[in-house]
Chains A and B, each alone.
Chain A
Amino acid sequence: DVKVTQSSRYLVKRTGEKVFLECVQDMDHENMFWYRQDPGLGLRLIYFSYDVKMKEKGDIPEGYSVSREKKERFSLILESASTNQTSMYLCASRPAGASGQYFGPGTRLTVT
């Protein structure tokens, strides 16, 4: 089975802190994605990567950056956390040439 793991299930940070969210997949997938999920808004794409060291902006990249140094790991970085970044963050991966994305369990981030 494909497994996508996220470093934390719950995280509480203070305004202005630098926050790292880590995602690891164990199936050698080329494509990886970061979404945020908010009530009534569905899943919105923040960034995605289709290869090591490659990244593309999604629909809401402001306030975020990403890093993909290794194929299996995709990190989301909040340079200076703000309260409006309190949300559920979901990581996903997908192999090249395939259709379905595989999601991790999510990280619920609270910024106070």
Chain B
Amino acid sequence: GENVEQHPSTLSVQEGDSAVIKCTYSDSASNYFPWYKQELGKGPQLIIDIRSNVGEKKDQRIAVTLNKTAKHFSLHITETQPEDSAVYFCAATESAHTASKLTFGTGTRLQVTL
């Protein structure tokens, strides 16, 4: 089955700096890669996703890149703000449209300091 590795486990950046979280996956059949943000006391929330037919996707201050050959994808947050502090999870699955299973990474705790 799919295995997703996520690094780093913790990340501390100063407000205004950029943050990068990296994930690798094992199953070359995976074609959908979402990212979730989990704030304290809440369930994870989908913030951005990418499908294997594109290499990069942006949404305001966040972007995700995908390298299918190397089987890795990354989350980039620019101009970080204190409200970006949370735990971030990457995930991978073979298909976005069936009752397929997401395999999650182990999470990255991002702390944005003033």
Please name the residue on chain A nearest to B106 by beta carbon. Answer: A42
Q: Are A42 and B89 in contact (CB under 8 A)?
A: yes
Count, A-B residue pairs, CB within 8 A: 55
Q: Does A56 touch B at the CB level, under 8 Å?
A: yes
Interface residues in A35-71 by Cβ distance below 8 A to B read: 40-45, 48, 50, 56, 58-59
**Contacting pair A100 B43 (CB below 8 A):** no
Which residues of chain B come closer than 8 Å to A45, judged between CB atoms? 101-102
One of B6, B36, B97, B99 near A99 (C-beta < 8 A): B97
Do the beta carbons of B46 and A106 come within 8 Å of each other? no
What's the nearest-Cβ distance from chain A to residue B86, in Å? 13
Contacts of B63 in A (CB 8 A): none
Known: A99-B34, A103-B43. A58 touches B89 (CB 8 A): no
Give, as a whole number of angstroms, the nearest-CB distance from A8 to chain B. 14
Query: What residues of A have a CB within 8 angstroms of the CB of B99 in the complex?
Result: 30-31, 48, 50, 56, 96
Residues of A within 8 A of B1 (CB): 59
Q: How far is the CA of A40 from the CA of B107 in the complex (A)?
A: 7
CB distance from A64 to the nearest CB of B (A): 15
Q: Is the interface of B mostly helix, strand, loop or mixed?
A: loop
Residues of A within 8 A of B6 (CB): 42
Q: Which residue of B lies closest to A49 (CB)?
A: B99
Which residues of B have CB within 8 Å of A59?
A: 1, 101
B44 contacts A98, CB within 8 Å?
Answer: no
A80-B46 Cα distance, complex, nearest whole Å: 33
Residues of B near A97 (CB, < 8 A) are 97
A4: interface (CB < 8 Å): yes
Contacts beyond the supplied A92-B43, A100-B34, A101-B46: 20 A-B pairs with Cβ under 8 Å: A30-B99, A42-B6, A42-B104, A42-B105, A42-B107, A43-B89, A48-B101, A50-B99, A56-B99, A90-B43, A96-B99, A98-B96, A99-B49, A99-B96, A99-B97, A101-B34, A101-B102, A103-B36, A104-B43, A105-B43
